[in-house]
Structure 1
Amino acid sequence: MADPRRVEFGDFLRSRREKLTPKSVGLPAGSRRRTAGLRREEVAQLAGIGVDWYIRLEQGRTVSPSVTTVDALARALRLSKTEHAHLKALARDGDRRAFTREIVPPSIRRMIESLNQPAYITGRRWDVLAWNDAAEEVFAFGQLPERDRNTLLLVMTDKQRRKLYGAGWTDIAKGMVAMFRATHDVWAGDPAFAELLARLRQGSPEFVKWWEAHDVRGTISGRKTMSHPTLGVLNFEHTSFQANDDPALKLVIYTPV
């Protein structure tokens, strides 16, 4: 059975290859092309590796590319810093333990409860694990079943959350899908991630479209404007931090602006 992480590695290579043109990498256009992007042999040529070897990588075969090969592929495919880091993460033989829901230490719970601005803690799978009163007033996490307290699931499949972000929903949601892609691929094949992915696919046609593009991006701070049904228009600046107690835990804070 194919290693799910290797499958994602190959799919990511293919998605980046199809976004390039010969002109963008300094190659002649040549004869008419039946498919979008570069040919596999052109990527292999640019990376300085064998065509058969590249094909095996793109097919998700159980092969282990060296750091040098991964770096050469990143240069050939003109990957961004974030994309390069993602490719390296997928190439590593990582921890194969099954995902388990994280536990928030009492000290971190007390810290977010002391904050006046909305704040909450998420885990690797983006499950909301703890939040304060200000976050409850805005996001109403406590009114949801535990299995539904997931930031990506709520933004993509909950109609009320979609209304909350108004005209800005598309940019916010698309960006979140790309950020989650970077996390998911490292956990590809894990039952907990597979279950969440199935719910997202079933509940959102936009998610399916953006997911297949296989774009990745890092976590960034920014601003969000929300149209809350009882609080009115809210403008926030949001940022996130990793916890030293457990790097899987992420603190998200919304500061009114």
Structure 2
Amino acid sequence: MTTVAPESDVRRHELADFLRSRRERITPEQVGLVRGRRRRTPGLRREEVAQLSAVGVTWYTWLEQAREIQVSPQVLDALARALLMDAGERAHLFALAGSLDPAPHTLCPTVTPAVRAMLDQLDPIPASVQNSRYDILAYNATFGRLLNDLDRLPPEDRNALWLAFTDADWQAAVVDLPEAQRTMAAKFRASMAEHLAEPAWKALVARLESASPEFREVWARHEVIGQGGKTKYIRNAHVGLLYLEHVNLWLGPAAGPRLVTYVPVDEETRSRLVRLHALSPTAV
């Protein structure tokens, strides 16, 4: 006689396997964590997912062990965000849990092959994809040489706010650096209001406060500014002064990832961007 497992058991095991597979594909750098030297686990550790989702380690471990525990929609939402699930994965997660998604149209900050192709097609216009924490998730060849050499940096340092306060090359390229730093910190604080409990955000603030007296001074002002574009000058080390219009195009909700472009305002800048692109080792 064959025994058929109850549907609830099957769902719990499918949910456990799905969470494990998503956890193992995410690198620490993608979520603002430092890899460290002694890492044998592929992707994230269970305790890291628990930390990013603001849940208990034991509770999350039980979830991956398919134990019979209750999972709220809010916790599922936090797990989907922590594991950078796209819309399809998020819908699958809630379906396995038998729960209604409180924000079914929420998009996570993933960079698809199509977005990467679009970045390349925009060359020589500098373009990148950044999230509201200023992490630079992807960029084209010209953007990679615009303010500094991004390719030389480890992934955990590819954050525009971090670079604006700590990287000498980036700072040298920014005309009116104090104003740029003040504006970026104020935009970051405004965005952080929706992420106050998330460890990756708090870790970035702590890292900046430890590394930069300028950041500590600006951060203490508690200024807030909404996201928006403006014209600005950038002093590029290879081709000289560039006059650019900074444009944000959101790829999802206003608090989500955005396409950041620097459009040349005049023909001289356009010509210099073509030269800058030609200097990139990845230029065709």
If the TM-score is normalised by the length of the shorter chain, which range does it land in?
Answer: 0.5 to 0.7
Shift in CA distance, 173/247, structure 1 to aligned 2, threshold 3 Å: closer
Aligned counterpart in structure 2 of residue 163 of structure 1, from 167, 172, 187: 172
Matched, 1:107 2:107: no
Partner SS state of residue 197, structure 2: coil
Question: In structure 1, what is the Cα distance between the partners aligned to 2:227 and 2:255?
Answer: 14
Residue of structure 2 in register with 1:143 after alignment: 152
The answer as to whether partners of 1:99 and 1:192 remain within 8 angstroms in 2 is: no
Partner SS state of residue 118, structure 2: helix
Question: In structure 2, what is the Cα distance between the partners aligned to 1:245 and 1:193?
Answer: 19
Question: In structure 2, what is the Cα distance between the partners aligned to 1:245 and 1:178?
Answer: 20
Q: Which amino acid aligns with 1:114?
A: Q
Partner SS state of residue 186, structure 1: coil
Residue of structure 2 in register with 1:227 after alignment: 235
Residue of structure 1 in register with 2:138 after alignment: 130
Question: In structure 1, what is the Cα distance between the partners aligned to 2:255 and 2:122?
Answer: 21
User: 1:222-256: per-residue Cα shift (whole Å, max 9, x none)?
Assistant: 12212222221111111101114996211001011
Partner SS state of residue 200, structure 2: helix
Name whichever of 106-115 and 174-183 sits farther off: 106-115
Report how many residues are paired.
164
Residue of structure 1 in register with 2:163 after alignment: 154
Name whichever of 147-156 and 99-108 sits farther off: 99-108
Partner SS state of residue 182, structure 1: helix
Partner SS state of residue 213, structure 1: coil
Matched, 1:243 2:243: no
Shift in CA distance, 103/96, structure 1 to aligned 2, threshold 3 Å: closer
Q: How does 1:204-215 map to 2 (within 5 A)?
A: 204-215=212-223
Query: Alpha-carbon deviation of 1:100?
Result: 4.7
- When normalised by structure 1's length, the TM-score is 0.59
The answer as to whether partners of 1:174 and 1:210 remain within 8 angstroms in 2 is: yes
Question: In structure 1, what is the Cα distance between the partners aligned to 2:205 and 2:214?
Answer: 13
Partner SS state of residue 162, structure 1: helix
Question: In structure 2, what is the Cα distance between the partners aligned to 1:100 and 1:185?
Answer: 21
Shift in CA distance, 226/163, structure 1 to aligned 2, threshold 3 Å: same
Q: How does 1:45-60 map to 2 (within 5 A)?
A: none
Question: In structure 2, what is the Cα distance between the partners aligned to 1:126 and 1:199?
Answer: 14
The answer as to whether partners of 2:132 and 2:188 remain within 8 angstroms in 1 is: no
The answer as to whether partners of 1:99 and 1:190 remain within 8 angstroms in 2 is: no
Question: In structure 2, what is the Cα distance between the partners aligned to 1:99 and 1:224?
Answer: 34
Calculate percent identity across the aligned residue pairs.
31
In the alignment, structure 2 segments of 5+ residues that lack a partner are 1-73, 85-108, 266-284
Shift in CA distance, 136/242, structure 1 to aligned 2, threshold 3 Å: same
Question: In structure 2, what is the Cα distance between the partners aligned to 1:127 and 1:244?
Answer: 16
The answer as to whether partners of 2:252 and 2:258 remain within 8 angstroms in 1 is: no
Q: Which amino acid aligns with 1:160?
A: D
Q: CA RMSD in A?
A: 2.3
Q: Which amino acid aligns with 2:205?
A: L
Query: Alpha-carbon deviation of 1:154?
Result: 0.5
Question: In structure 2, what is the Cα distance between the partners aligned to 1:247 and 1:199?
Answer: 22
Q: Which amino acid aligns with 1:121?
A: V
In the alignment, structure 1 segments of 5+ residues that lack a partner are 1-92
Name whichever of 242-251 and 189-198 sits farther off: 242-251
Q: Which amino acid aligns with 2:167?
A: D
